[in-house]
Amino acid sequence: MTSQHIPSDVYPALTYIRKTEKRTPEIGLILGSGLGHLATIIKEASVFPTHQIPGFPHATVAGHKGELIIGLLENRTVALLRGRVHYYEGHPIQKVTFPIRLLYALGISRLLVTNAAGGINPHFVPGDLMFITDHIGLLTGINPLVGPNSDGGPRFPDMSEPYDLAWIEQAEQLALQQHIRTHRGVYLWTTGPSYETKAEIQCFARIGADAVGMSTVPEVIQARYLNMNVLGISAITNRAAGLHKGALTHEEVLLVGQQIRDRFERLVRTIIAHL
C-alpha cells in the first residue's frame, strides 16, 4: 500500500490533526501499560486528547491516558500514542487498529510498539525487556483484516517476518552499549480481560510462547498490512499464572512499569536516535 491509498476511515481524524500540526513524523510509538512517562519528555509537543479526535476509540484502562502527541524526541519528529485501546474494552477489532491507520496516514513507515507482558519463559524475571521476534494470535480467532478489502492493500499479507529482524539486531547492540539486559521471544496475544489460567499458560509454553499479553498483535497485523516496519518491546512486569506467587493484579503491572522506567526510556531514546 502506498501513501496515495490512505484508509478512508481516518480522513476526518487526519484533517482534524493537520489543521494545527503540519510535521511529518519519522516514527510512531505506542506506549503500553505503565510505560507512558516517556511522553512527558517530548519537546515542541502538539498534544491531541484522543477523545477529541474524530473516530478515535476511547481508552478506559488505568495506565492508558489517551493522547496522541507529535513532537521531538532525540531531535527526531515522532508521533506517540500515550496508551492504547484494547479489544476487551468492547471495541470492534477494526476500531482497535484505527490508531495504526491514522499513524500511517500521518506519513509514518516505522512503528515501535511496546507492551506490558507476563513472562512464560522461566529465564525471564519481572523487570526484563524482551524484543518480540514473532507472535501467536490465531488462538483468539480474531484478525483486524477480516472484511472487505477495498483500500488497495494486499488481500493476503505476508506475516513471515512481522517484526523487523535487522531493526531488532541493531536495537540489541544499542541495548548492550547501554548495559541494558534484553531477551528475544515470542509474544502470545489473548483477548483478556481475565488473566490466563495455569493450564492455559502451560499450553502456551508448549506451543512456543515466551510472554503473554492482551494487546499488540492486532496492531502489528494492521501495520504490516500497511507495509510499516515494526519493532516490538515487551516489558516483563510479572510471571504468568502458575509461575507467579499470589494473585495477578493490574496494579502490580503498573508498579513494575514504573520501576523499569529509566531503562526502558534510555533504550527507546537510543533506538530513536539511531534510526
> C-alpha angle with apex 93: 261 to 207, nearest 5 degrees?
70
- Domain spans of the chain? 8-148+168-258+266-273
64 is catalytic: yes
Catalytic residue among 13, 33, 209, 225: 33
Angle among Cα 55, 213, 177 to the nearest 5 degrees reads 100
* Residue tagged active-site, from 64, 209, 228, 234: 64
Is residue 116 part of the annotated active site? The answer reads yes
Among candidate residues 208, 227, 260, the one with its CA nearest the CA of residue 104: 227
Please tell me the predicted confidence (pLDDT) of residue 83.
Answer: 79
Which one of 219, 238, 240, 241 is the catalytic residue? 238
Active site residue 215: yes
CB 240 within 8 A of CB 123: no
How far is the CA of 129 from the CAs of 50, 59, 161, 183, 197, in angstroms? 28, 25, 20, 6, 23
Q: Would strands 67-73 and 76-82 be described as parallel, antiparallel, or unpaired? A: antiparallel
Alpha carbon distances (Å) from 103 to 26, 71, 106: 10, 14, 5
- Contacts of residue 92, defined as CB under 8 A and 6 or more positions apart, other chains included, come to none
Residue 55 contacts by C-beta under 8 Å, 6 or more apart in sequence?
A: 9, 10, 12, 13, 98
- CB-neighbour burial class of residue 57 (10 A; exposed 0-12, middle 13-18, buried 19+): buried
> Which residues pair with residue 46 across a beta bridge?
70
- Hey, what amino acid is at 21? E
Whether 183 sits among the annotated catalytic residues: the reply is no
- Please identify which of the residues 89, 172, 252, 265 carries the catalytic annotation: 89
CATH class of the structural domain 8-148+168-258+266-273: alpha beta
Question: What confidence score (pLDDT) does residue 145 get?
Answer: 96
Q: Is 130 a catalytic residue?
A: no
Is 86 labeled as catalytic in the residue annotation?
yes
Does the active-site annotation cover 88? Answer: yes
For position 217, what pLDDT does the model report? 98
Question: Cα–Cα distances in Å, from 140 out to 38, 88, 149?
Answer: 31, 12, 21
Whether 135 is catalytic is: no
> Among the options 115, 121, 215, 234, which is catalytic?
215
Q: pLDDT tens string for the chain (275 positions)?
A: 444 478 889 999 999 999 999 999 999 999 986 677 888 999 999 999 999 999 999 876 655 578 999 999 999 999 999 978 999 999 999 999 999 999 999 999 999 999 989 999 999 999 899 999 999 999 999 999 999 987 778 999 999 999 999 999 999 999 999 999 999 999 999 999 998 999 999 999 999 999 999 999 999 999 999 999 999 999 998 877 656 565 656 676 667 667 788 889 999 999 999 98
Of residues 107, 86, 81, the one with CA closest to residue 23: 107
Residue 117 dihedral angles phi and psi, to the nearest 5°: -140, 155
Catalytic residue among 45, 171, 214, 241: 214
Determine which one of 59, 116, 223, 228 is catalytic.
116
Q: What's the alpha-carbon Rg for the chain, to the nearest Å? A: 18
